Structure 1
Amino acid sequence: MPRGVRETSEDALVALQDDTHNQVVAQSVMLRIETYVVEDDSDYESTPVVPPNDEYISEDELDEACTDSDSESDSIHAFIRATWQGNYWGSWASWNFVPPEKKDQWWHAFIQHYYWDDQFHDEIYLKWKKQTQVTVCGRISQNRRDNRQPSYMSDAHWATMVEKYNTEQAKRKSAKAARSRKSAPVGKKMHKHGAGPRCFLNIAYQMMVDEGLDEPPSYTALARKTHTGKDGSFLDERTEELVLEVEEAVEEMLQDGSPLGDSQTGSTAASNAKRYLLNQEYIKRGKTKKGTIYGLGSVQYKNSSPSVPIPVSLQRNLDVDMRMSGFETTISEVKEDIAGVKEDFSALKAEINAFKTQVTGGMSASQATLNIILQTLQSQASTPASTAQPSQPQAQSQPQGQPQAPIQSQHQPQAQGQSTALPQHLTINNPSELDRWCQDLGM
């Protein structure tokens, strides 16, 4: 997988020469951390630099290393610091004065040492740039205040920088910058927070763990956490005013008729929607002249792009999160509806089976009754007719003196040659006939 988007060009493969010792420090853009040749190690922390090993880095690891110098994964922090210190050699007091080609060399050294997924390239570059800016400015500024020449800067470059910053114009500019850092809006004090050296991103994550949340805390909750003392009072007046204003505006929105609805209070959907409203109002009301959001610290730089303003990036990420939350809620509701339909179908199937059993039992009983009726009628039809035969006409008078022919009894059996009657078929033209026959048979 390619290490970043930029490819290392042949022009970057240059031999960097130490102005003081006149010896080659590195012969490739890898720089191979031959920065151990420096004689004064007071500018280095005790954490050893890991040799280049084509190591994979995630966005969370870089963010942790760039914001929490006391973490165990400080090797990334140390590598960034050692890279620019081993390839500095200039009278640049801050990042803004460093030539672009020098910045590219530092960045190429970083992407040759680590690799990451392409989707995180812009974010990792932004965090790497921020960390390099902070360490360059902090180290050199501290050395200037202490009037101590760093080992990674030559005598000539150090003398040039000291001479430049000792002029009256530079002193006036420095004093003005100090007043600006300590300035505050009219009627308010200088910005303060109670987070100490901890990163706001780490604080937000710890809040999720402690409170058992599935989503990051709202911006107002994070501002309360980082800008209040142990007694719960705000340390910063502007943060207090901003948080209270946002919370009041959201409460009014909910009372006037919000998309939550009164019946959804306390549900997951309502909680996510309220967090969305709080963050939306905080972004809208917390913009600063520098294009950042007041009181959020490093949280506002997560998933941001250098080409997109921070408020726009935050609002875009917020909209995406809200849509995803809405999709999850919709999917959950659809699953519940499907489960309900399955239950209804199972109940309907059970009713159909019961009705089928009942109909089958009724048909069996009716069939048995019909069989009995048919058998009875068939047996009656097969026996001799019990009814009297039609009366014979009276025999003609015989002459007197001659005996009359005997008259055959009506119940006398017929001659053997005479055939018996065939069974008759049951024909039912009216259902009432079947009922009448059943009554006659005592059924």
Structure 2
Amino acid sequence: MSAKTRYYLEQCIPELDDLVDKKLFTKNEISKIMKKRTDFEHRLNSRGSSTNDYFKYIAYETNVDKLRKKRVERILQSKKTNSISDWSISQRITFIYQRGTNKFPQDLKLWAMYLHYLKTRGSETSYKKIHSVYNQLLKLHPSNIDVWISCAKYEYEVHANFKSCRTIFQNGLRFNGDSAKLWFEYVKFELNFVTKLLNRRKVMGLINEREQALDMQNDEKKNEKDDEGITLPTTGDVMKDKLNELPEADMNMLGSAETNPALRGDIALTVFDLAMETLGKYYINKHKGYYVGSDRDFEKQLNKDAVEFLFETSMDYIRLFDDFEDLDRIYLINHVIQYWRQEHFSINLETDLPEQSLDCVFLDLLLNIRYMTVENMDIDQLQLSVKKYMAYKNKLNPTDMKSLQQKYKEYIKEQFLSEMDKESNPGYRILEMIYNKL
């Protein structure tokens, strides 16, 4: 028996004695437990150990702890105890996970199970303990997007620590600026933050500026002690300046959505703009190879491919905006439309990518009626949409206009006419007249 194995087994003795004293296990059962632990420790300390050995050891200790808890309820009943055996097995499981991740730091499944175990223990696991595990994991796997997202979500979904979550996303993007998924999750977080803030104010009735300021100060004090928990890995100055230019949401949330652009989602839109610029640059650098400056036609085509990729990515953001009913979704989508009215990477949608340009026009046409239903139909907004349609009719070529007309009429028919009762709904005739004029 190695010295390390002997040392770990000796740590079990006080716990096992306590289990016997409480009459939760017999001496014969304790001997079997000790034998099992000896076998597992020999496997873990051997050169040929694998993660599977750690999984089996953890599964065994989990079963022992379940049996212990059942016997506590049955034998001790209402008697409250606070002795070493009440927490030692869970501490051992944590220690086994820790040893496993130290020996197999590249095994993400082991890390995931470790974090899941800590989180499911509730108040038995400290906030700082989970932070320390995330810190270790991020230092070892700074390019793993799912780890950054998991860490950030833990901050704002479990502890509502928005400041720390924002820091995690920004640090993650300094390592992984080319990750469309990470940018998307960051925008989603900012939208969630504003939504929760607005809903909270509705519930609490925060009306004036002073009440809002006091509420924000209380939140900052509440989270001050937690901010020290995350000490993330650092990198060079790539993207650092631009990320630092992002507005500090916590300091710009006074007022209402009408008086404060930040409460309409402008911070998320700022992140969207930065995401488009950064992802486009990464796309071009990744695909340009050895053709830098040597072929203008190739460079033009590469820029077109990059903008086409960005356009498809921006459609994902529009679908994301659809989910946030408490925000001004028309305002958010209009920002994306206006973004594509400008030239990016020397590419203009109207002249260089007509298909994407037509999709953008269709988005603009539906903007006023995108969230309109038969129940909340607004004829004025519908007529505004039709006016846009007529304006585009004079600008587009006949082929594009025919395609746009077909899509627009199909939308009107499917969303409204087919859902309305011709006899009982007075708006049906008006809508039918509008439809026939298209």
Of Structure 1 and Structure 2, the greater helix share is in 2
Q: Which has the larger radius of gyration?
A: 1
TM-score (norm: length of structure 1): 0.24
Of structures 1 and 2, the one scoring higher in RCO (CA 8 A, sep 6+) is 1
